Amino acid sequence: MFMNWIGGVRKYFSRRTGALGDHSTGSSPGDMAEKRLQGLMRMLLKTREEELTCDDVLRWLDRYAEIELSGQEAALLLPHVHQHIDLCPECAEELQALIDILQSQAHPNNT
């Protein structure tokens, strides 16, 4: 059954890319569809039964950044937050911006 689902997803992405392809890199539509499918599968394999929303993660982001900057493993201490950040580019960008701000405040002469 899982293989049938993968086949259906592969067909979906093949149709979505159509004949467009990526002419800038020389990728064929089939290559693009395969890359998108692989990315989707990686994300699906990382999902958990309980997921945090972006709002949930934003409430924990300052603590996560502080843990990271202290040299501790935030991924081990806040695994659900880490998992969301790993999958969500927007929250990862927010985290990086927060870390940059905290680092610039800690070392104001290094800017």
Same domain (yes/no): 60, 97: yes
Are residue 81 and residue 33 in the same domain, yes or no? no
Domain of 8, in residue numbers: 2-46
Query: What crossing angle do the helices spanning 54-69 and 89-106 adopt, rounded to 10°?
Result: 40
pLDDT, tens digit (0-9, with 9 covering 90-100), for 79-109: 999 999 988 999 999 999 999 999 998 877 7
Tell me, what's the pLDDT at 50? 73
* pLDDT, tens digit (0-9, with 9 covering 90-100), for 19-56: 444 445 556 667 777 787 777 677 666 666 677 899 99
Query: Tokens in use for 1?
Result: 């059954």
Domain count, the chain: 2
**Do residues 80 and 99 both lie within one domain?**
yes
Digit-coded pLDDT (tens) for 67-77: 999 999 999 99
Q: Do 59 and 34 reside in the same domain of the chain?
A: no
Question: 59 and 106: one domain?
Answer: yes
Q: What is the mean pLDDT of the chain?
A: 78
